[in-house]
Amino acid sequence: MGISQELLRAVADSVAATTGGGRAAGLRAQFPGVMLTECSEDDVPARVKPVLETPAHAYFLVTGANGHCLAFTGDFDAAMGIVVAERADED
């Protein structure tokens, strides 16, 4: 399938326009056919680098190309989903 940089940017723009968590269902409705999930940035292994960063969120791509498990990827062409990771407030 692949995720384009334009689609990723559109998702990020939509996230920026909404407030609070629990926006994954709305994103799925807005971007049908794209696997979208939300988590905390702390839930993503530190070794995985985001493909897009904003002050409030980090965006990661996932693939299921091996047919078994989902895995993080930096390859837009192999990606089938987007993880929206909310950044923790640094107090």
Structurally, the chain folds into a number of domains equal to 1
**Cα–Cα distance measured from residue 77 to residue 51, given in angstroms and rounded to the nearest whole number:** 13
Q: Please check whether residue 45 lies inside any domain of the structure.
A: yes
Q: Please check whether residue 91 lies inside any domain of the structure.
A: no
Q: For residue range 19-35, list pLDDT tens digits in order.
A: 766 778 888 899 998 99
Q: Please check whether residue 24 lies inside any domain of the structure.
A: yes
Domain assignment of residue 18, given as a range: 5-86
pLDDT of residue 19: 72
Q: Which residues of 54-71 are buried (b: 16+ CB within 10 A; e: fewer)?
A: eeebbbbbbbbeeeeeee
Is residue 90 predicted with pLDDT exceeding 90? no
CB-based contact 38:15 (threshold 8 Å): no
Q: For residue range 36-83, list pLDDT tens digits in order.
A: 999 999 999 999 999 999 999 999 999 986 677 889 999 999 999 999
- Beta-bridged to residue 84, according to DSSP, are 38, 59
Q: Please check whether residue 34 lies inside any domain of the structure.
A: yes
Q: Please check whether residue 37 lies inside any domain of the structure.
A: yes
Q: Please check whether residue 20 lies inside any domain of the structure.
A: yes
